[in-house]
């Protein structure tokens, strides 16, 4: 079992209410490419930023839907790792609020409940017009460049990916901030904690004098933050085991 540094144990000791915020590094350990990783094959010539906007959706819905369905296929082929499972176990033994910047469902499949997806979810599409949830569509077996989105069963509008695009407001960011205010400890996993608006949660915790633990292989030193340079799948099971 991985040894947990003394300063990390001190950071989490006695915490009664915990917020955990996870980022792309958590899912990368399950084999999922991060958003800006270079694509291969069919999608290699497209930049993600060109497809992840409301303007791209309005310009070519078949193209955007096909790209997101390809990403859905990647998510469904991945499995939760030991870090996901450790957080699910931790949530059963303490007051823990789980906030994620990731758009996969690996936390849920590991057993976590009430996961707050700041950037939405690939497996939770919704109607463009009435915003009602729509059942997920199975992705094609092989990637295709164009795929007509399904229609909403309520209003007939086009079903869109259930993610937050560039230019849209993250889901539940105010509620996440409220949870940080009420917590004793913020644990940031698999993310640098410097990309806004999610990084604002780290800033808020530091400003309020809350304990902050950053778990990431590239964790940088910062005033008011305890940094542990390890991966989620390695560090979190050891930390929860010592809890």
Which residues are CB-neighbours of 140 under 8 A, at least 6 positions away? Answer: 69, 70, 73, 147
Asked whether the beta carbons of 227 and 221 are under 8 A apart, the reply is yes
Asked whether the beta carbons of 202 and 225 are under 8 A apart, the reply is yes
The end-to-end CA distance of the chain, in Å, is 14
Q: Assign residue 19 a region: left if phi > 0, alpha if psi is -120 to 50, beta otherwise?
A: beta
User: What is the DSSP secondary-structure string of 107-150?
Assistant: HHHHT--S-EETTB-TT--EETTT--B-PPPPPPSS--S--PPP
CA diameter of the chain:
57
Q: How many CA atoms lie within 13 A of 61 on its CB side?
A: 12
Is 107 designated active site?
no
Out of 84, 107, 117, 119, pick the active-site residue.
Answer: 119
* Residues labelled as active-site residues: 119
């Amino acid at each position: 079992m991985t040894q947990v540094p003394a300063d990390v144990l001190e950071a989490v000791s006695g915490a009664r209410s915990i917020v955990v915020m996870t980022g792309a590094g958590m899912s990368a350990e399950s084999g999922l490419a991060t958003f800006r990783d270079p694509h291969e094959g069919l999608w290699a010539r497209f930049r993600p930023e060109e497809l992840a906007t409301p303007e791209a959706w309005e310009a070519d819905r078949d193209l955007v839907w096909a790209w997101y369905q390809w990403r859905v296929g990647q998510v469904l082929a991945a499995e939760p790792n030991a870090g996901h499972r450790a957080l699910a176990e931790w949530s059963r033994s303490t007051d823990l609020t789980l906030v994620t910047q990731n758009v996969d469902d690996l936390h849920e499949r590991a057993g976590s409940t009430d996961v707050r997806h700041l950037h939405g979810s690939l497996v939770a599409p919704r109607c463009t017009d009435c915003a009602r949830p729509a059942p997920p569509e199975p992705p094609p077996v092989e990637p295709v460049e164009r795929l007509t989105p399904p229609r909403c069963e309520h209003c007939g509008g086009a079903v869109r990916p259930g993610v937050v695009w560039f230019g849209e407001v993250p889901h539940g960011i105010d509620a996440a901030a409220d949870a940080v205010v009420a917590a004793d400890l913020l644990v940031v996993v698999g993310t640098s904690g410097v990309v806004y608006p999610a990084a604002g949660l780290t800033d808020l915790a530091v400003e309020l004098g809350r304990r902050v633990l950053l778990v990431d292989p590239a964790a940088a030193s910062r005033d008011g933050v305890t940094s542990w340079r390890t991966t989620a799948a390695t560090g979190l099971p050891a930390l929860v085991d010592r809890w």
